[in-house]
C-alpha cells in the first residue's frame, strides 16, 4: 500500500517551454502533497507544500510564478515548470501524506528527471 | 527551524557486517523520525520510522534507536547484503498531519561482496 506515482518519469524540453509533472497517490487519499528538488549527490530540497483546494506554500527562494502547483483533488497534484531554462534541469520528486492513519508520514513518488536543452 | 545532521556521509562495509548511521536534530519539539532508502535514479523509500514515545523499533534486519534527551537517533542494519547499497536519509518533523520533514545530508552505503 501507500503508492505514489509520477508522470512522466523523464522529460526533455527546449529552453523557454513549460513542462507539467503529475503526482498521484494511487491507493490512498492525501491531505498534503510536497514537491522536492534534488541535485546529484545532494539531499532533498523542499520546494512547496500543497493542500487540496488551497494555494501552495512555497519555501523561501522558490519562485511561485515559475513553479506552479495545482492540487486539484485528494489524489492528484501537478507541478508546472514555466519558461524552463537549463538551470531548472533536476530530479523532481513528490510525496504525499495520507488523509487517515499515519498522517505525518510522507510516501514518495519515483521522481521525474527534467532536462532542459 | 529544525536542523538535522547526518554522519557519516559515506560508509563502506563488508557483506554480512553491520552498518550504523547517526543523526542529530536541533528542535526538541520534533517527535517523528523516518528513515528513507534511495536507490540511484529512484525516489526515496520509507524503510522504518520511529515516534518519540518509543526508544527503539525493529523490522527484521533494520532497527532505529532514539534518544530524545540527547536529540539523536540512529539506523542499524545488521547482516548487510549487496542490495542494501544505496543512499540513506534520516529526517525529523514535529509529527503533525501534513508537516514538513527536515532531511539530513544522506549517507552513501556501499556493501562489498
Q: What is the pLDDT of residues A51-92, one digit of tens each?
A: 988 889 999 999 999 999 999 899 999 999 999 999 999 999
Is any Cβ of chain A less than 8 angstroms from the Cβ of B52? no
pLDDT reported for residue B1: 84
Interface with chain A: mutation pick from B88, B101, B108, highest number of A CBs within 10 Å: B101
The alpha carbon of residue A69 and the mean position of all alpha carbons in its chain are separated, in whole angstroms, by 8
pLDDT reported for residue A57: 93
Interface with chain B: mutation pick from A104, A110, A114, highest number of B CBs within 10 Å: A104
Kindly determine whether residue B106 and residue A93, on different chains, have CB atoms separated by under 8 Å: no
Distances (CA, A) of A74 to A3, A53, A94, B62: 14, 9, 14, 32
Closest alpha carbon within chain A to B45: A108
pLDDT reported for residue A102: 83
Is any Cβ of chain B less than 8 angstroms from the Cβ of A89? no
Cβ-Cβ contacts under 8 Å for A70 (sequence gap 6 or more): A50, A77, A78, A80
A9 compared with A100, residue with greater pLDDT: A9
Q: Does residue A1 carry a pLDDT above 80?
A: no
Looking at CA atoms only, how far is residue A56 from chain B in angstroms? 12
Looking at CA atoms only, how far is residue B101 from chain A in angstroms? 8
Strand, helix or coil for residue A103:
coil
Amino acid at each position: 500500500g501507500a503508492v505514489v506515482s509520477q508522470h512522466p518519469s523523464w522529460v526533455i524540453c527546449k529552453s523557454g517551454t513549460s513542462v507539467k509533472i503529475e503526482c498521484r497517490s494511487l491507493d490512498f487519499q492525501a491531505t498534503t502533497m510536497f514537491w522536492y528538488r534534488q541535485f546529484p549527490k545532494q539531499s532533498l530540497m523542499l520546494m512547496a507544500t500543497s493542500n487540496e483546494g488551497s494555494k501552495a506554500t512555497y519555501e523561501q527562494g522558490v519562485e511561485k510564478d515559475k513553479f506552479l502547483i495545482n492540487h486539484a483533488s485528494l489524489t492528484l497534484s501537478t507541478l508546472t515548470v514555466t519558461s524552463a531554462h537549463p538551470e531548472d534541469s533536476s530530479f523532481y520528486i513528490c510525496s504525499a501524506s495520507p488523509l487517515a492513519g499515519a498522517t505525518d508520514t510522507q510516501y514518495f513518488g519515483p521522481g521525474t528527471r527534467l532536462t532542459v536543452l | 527551524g529544525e536542523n538535522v545532521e547526518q554522519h557519516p556521509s559515506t560508509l563502506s562495509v563488508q557483506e554480512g557486517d553491520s552498518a550504523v548511521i547517526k543523526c542529530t536534530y536541533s528542535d526538541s519539539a520534533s517527535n517523528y523520525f523516518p528513515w528513507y532508502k534511495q536507490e540511484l535514479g529512484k525516489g526515496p523509500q520509507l524503510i522504518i520510522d520511529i515516534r518519540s514515545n518509543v526508544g527503539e523499533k525493529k523490522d527484521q534486519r533494520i532497527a532505529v534507536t532514539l534518544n530524545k534527551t540527547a536529540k539523536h537517533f540512529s539506523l542499524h542494519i545488521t547482516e548487510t547484503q549487496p542490495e542494501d547499497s544505496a543512499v540513506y536519509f534520516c529526517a525529523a518533523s514535529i509529527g503533525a498531519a501534513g508537516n514538513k520533514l527536515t532531511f539530513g545530508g544522506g549517507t552513501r552505503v556501499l556493501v562489498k561482496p
